Amino acid sequence: MELLSPAGSFLSLKAAILNGADAVYFSGGAFNARINAENFTNEELIEAIDYCRSRNTKAYITLNTLIYDSEFDRCLEYARFLYSMGANAFIVQDLGLLFLLKKYLPDIEYHASTQMGISSLDSVKLCEKLGISQVVLSRELSLKDIRYISENTDVKLECFVHGAMCVSFSGGCLFSSLVGGRSGNRGECAQPCRKRIAVGGAPKENDYNLSIADMCMIEHIKELKDAGISSLKIEGRMKKPEYVAMATYAYRRAIDGAGTDEIKTLKKELEEVFSRGEFSCGYYFGADFNRNAIAKAQPSKELQKRLQESYRKEKPIFPIEFKLILKANENAKLIAQAREKTIEVTGSVCEAAKSEIDENTVSKYENQLKKLGDTPYYCDNAEVIIENAYLPVSKINEMRRKAVELLEESTRLRRSAAEIVLIPEESEKIERSTPIICARVIDYASAIAAYNAGADEVTIDALSYDKNDIEKLFLNKPQNSRLNISLPIAIIGKKHERILYDIVNSYPFNSVEINNLGQVEGLKHKELYGGAHLNIVNSHTINSLLNMGLKSVTISPELTRKQCKDLIDKCEHIRLEVFGRATLMNLFNCPVRYAKGCQGCEQGTIYMNDEQLRRFPILKSNNIRPCAMVRILNCFTMDNIAQSHRMTPYAFALSFYDENAVDIVNNRINALLDILKGKEATPLENTTRGYWNR
């Protein structure tokens, strides 16, 4: 099993490697999901990659954010630089970036970021088709789920085993972005989930309902291995080097077979270095974590000192053999053998010896060769052959240093890669027709109201409908209108997949809105279009998805109005959301059940309230109990209808999630119809423009 450690700085990288990491993930100052970590300059990146290779540690570079069209040239040049310097793999979230990197830099491994939301066998199968060799599985999967996936794929499976857990599905959280303007999908998460928030009322002093405890799986290495996990990932690129050192050392010892007593001691020290209360096992054995978790870190001075010492000095791990040959009036010669390589260094011309060569002289030279100082080598043998010769000790030291230098250089990898120049594809002028209107609804009455108001198609939410409602809709919808169904951002486990796919396959829906890449693979026999949770922010991702068979795609709510218009002008088959509450979080564990019990959401709309007393509605799932997915919605509805008059997408999308939405359905669809007729529309009061005016 691979032990994969985080590095937010060069010191953390050393802490990881010198404490036993097999691989380290890190990045420079851009295009990574921890943009606020110290990270690495370009010069430090070269040094870091070389340092990793020198110590047989793999260097995985994170390129795991969404990329705007205007950033691709810079991002691809950055990737080319990292490729040329010998990185082992790129960790990627953005599908468009992945396709371009695979095209221009094929000879490097690609790993799926946790932000991709790989949560099923279908997701992994699609990754395999895309040329991804290692995937980070969603934290919400159980060991049973993981075992099923591992038994049916050859792709290497990577899982988080220690550190902070996002309460929301990774890649499916817009809380920080839409509430605070700092996008988690762009590496700027402000962690609003760690602040006070409560269900159904103002939060009290200790109400941190979305802040969950950290994971610790150090006692369950065998179960992880038996499930087929190839790589154990430690969270923590924002953490201090002491944390990285402790976590890496602890899991190294656990993987290498530490006994029960030692594991208990290591777990206690892990908690001392950093925790949020009592550790949990996450979802591996079913949802197992505490909420209201607050960060704690009070390591003793003794533990801090021990951890700091663990990465201050190099640890010799490679044996080296020296053979020094000194002959009068000839150049000195030093032969070094290490790591299956032989290095020969030629030194200065030796003088004739002025005194007899004895054992002390030979021993003195041998001792100089053994002084390997701050290097990863230790001298396994030093042979000195002297024939009536003398060479100053300083010259011996120069030769030894040069030999080690050459050995280190031999471990480096430099690749050549041509400059990447993106040439815009020439395309025929897009013939624009009147955009269709699509209403996303969660109840029967809203669906009928949307049809009656003039919607061309209605998309029902698979988590909100029962079969009676669906059958009524097919009986009562207008004959020439379309009826679609929307799937959630993730379907965890075969049971939930069977329930939802049974609904999809049992009725003649015109199209299926998919919100996870695995659904592309699992429902390829259906007409599909992409939902907002695919996090589409650039034309390369749009074209990639259309080439994969999707009929249309919904672009991200994290785009400005100008960015939306630029994409619409450039690409066909774009759906644009202009009304509705955005989903801020997708949770696989219900905060209402934790606070009020499983029946706590039966009495009307339930809200979460933050420190500013903003109310965030909670949208539960009706089809799968206990709830397979709980969604926290934005406190304000987005209403950009009035500003969409110069947009000509394939479709305008409106989402109606609030109860008793019939009047709003009529109002906003009529407003959009006015816009399409060239008339003006007035936005609703107490609504938000989201990113549009930023």
- Tell me whether residue 295 is in a domain: yes
Same domain, 452 and 390: no
Amino acid identity of residue 629, one-letter, is: M
Return the bridge partners of 89, or none: 60, 109
The residue behind tokens 């005016």 is 693
Same domain, 446 and 505: yes
Q: Calculate the alpha carbon distances from 287 to 140, 222, 225, 416, 593 in Å.
A: 8, 20, 20, 47, 12
Provide long-range contacts, Cβ within 8 A and 24+ apart, for 495-498.
Answer: 496/624, 496/628, 497/120, 497/522
Closest CA to 399 of 443, 465, 347: 347
Same domain, 18 and 111: yes
Return the bridge partners of 284, or none: 286
Q: How confident is the model at residue 198 (pLDDT cuts 50, 70, 90)?
A: very high
Same domain, 236 and 335: no
Q: Calculate the alpha carbon distances from 407 to 65, 319, 358, 371 in Å.
A: 36, 12, 31, 16
pLDDT given at position 426: 63
H or E element in which residue 345 lies: strand 341-349
Segment 110-144, tens digit of pLDDT: 999 999 999 999 999 999 999 999 999 999 999 99
Q: What is the pTM of this model?
A: 0.94
Same domain, 341 and 252: no
Same domain, 306 and 325: no
Same domain, 291 and 340: no
- Tell me whether residue 119 is in a domain: yes
The enclosing domain of 568 has a CATH number of 3.20.20.70
**Residue 380 DSSP SS3:** strand
Q: How far is C-alpha 317 from the chain's CA centre?
A: 32
Residue 577: half-sphere exposure toward Cβ, Cα within 13 Å? 28
Do 586 and 592 touch, CB atoms closer than 8 A? Answer: no
d(CA 85, CA 69) in angstroms, rounded, equals: 25
- Tell me whether residue 525 is in a domain: yes
Closest CA to 681 of 558, 579, 580: 579
- Structural domain of 67: 2-165+212-312
Segment 5-33, tens digit of pLDDT: 999 999 999 999 999 999 999 998 888 87
State yes or no: pLDDT of 197 exceeds 70: yes
- Tell me whether residue 531 is in a domain: yes
How long is the chain? Answer: 694
Return the bridge partners of 113, or none: none
pLDDT given at position 125: 97
Instruction: Please state, as a whole number, how many other Cβ atoms lie within 10 Å of the Cβ of residue 536.
Output: 28
Paired tokens of 505: 């396959």
d(CA 549, CA 607) in angstroms, rounded, equals: 38
Query: What integer is the mean pLDDT of 152-170?
Result: 95
First CA to last CA across the chain, in angstroms?
46
Q: How confident is the model at residue 615 (pLDDT cuts 50, 70, 90)?
A: very high
d(CA 160, CA 118) in angstroms, rounded, equals: 13
Paired tokens of 217: 């799986």
Segment 504-561, tens digit of pLDDT: 999 999 999 999 999 999 999 999 999 999 999 999 999 999 999 999 999 999 999 9
pLDDT given at position 294: 84
Cis peptide preceding 649, ω within 30 of 0:
no
d(CA 171, CA 66) in angstroms, rounded, equals: 10
Do 269 and 248 touch, CB atoms closer than 8 A? Answer: no
Query: What integer is the mean pLDDT of 309-319?
Result: 94
Return the bridge partners of 441, or none: 460, 656
Dihedral of the alpha carbons of 161, 167, 173, 177, in degrees to the nearest 10: -110
Segment 57-111, tens digit of pLDDT: 999 999 999 999 999 999 999 999 999 999 999 999 999 999 999 999 999 999 9
Task: Point out the domain boundary residue: 274, 294, 312.
Answer: 312
| Top-confidence residue, 465 or 376 | 376
pLDDT given at position 288: 67
Same domain, 369 and 322: yes
Cα angle value 637/639/643 (rounded, 5°):
160
Do 219 and 66 touch, CB atoms closer than 8 A? Answer: no
Same domain, 296 and 369: no
Q: How far is C-alpha 467 from the chain's CA centre?
A: 36
pLDDT given at position 652: 98
Least confident of 112-116, 482-486, 589-593: 589-593
Task: Point out the domain boundary residue: 312, 329, 348.
Answer: 312
What is the SS3 string spanning 609-628? EECCCCEEEEECCCCCCCCC
- Tell me whether residue 189 is in a domain: no
Dihedral of the alpha carbons of 505, 508, 511, 516, in degrees to the nearest 10: -10
Task: Point out the domain boundary residue: 267, 289, 312.
Answer: 312
Query: What integer is the mean pLDDT of 297-321?
Result: 93
Number of structural domains, the chain?
3
The residue behind tokens 């430099």 is 414
Which residues are CB-neighbours of 92 under 8 A, at least 6 positions away? Answer: 63, 64, 98, 101, 110, 111, 112, 113, 116
Residue 72: half-sphere exposure toward Cβ, Cα within 13 Å? 21
Same domain, 254 and 335: no
Query: What integer is the mean pLDDT of 560-564?
Result: 96
State yes or no: pLDDT of 660 exceeds 70: no
- Tell me whether residue 125 is in a domain: yes
d(CA 82, CA 101) in angstroms, rounded, equals: 12
Closest CA to 585 of 458, 679, 490: 490
Same domain, 326 and 440: no
- Tell me whether residue 428 is in a domain: no
Strands 156-163 and 197-199: unpaired
Dihedral of the alpha carbons of 78, 79, 84, 90, in degrees to the nearest 10: 140
Mean predicted lDDT score pLDDT of the chain: 93
Radius of gyration of the chain (CA): 30
Same domain, 368 and 306: no
- Tell me whether residue 323 is in a domain: yes
Query: What integer is the mean pLDDT of 444-472?
Result: 92
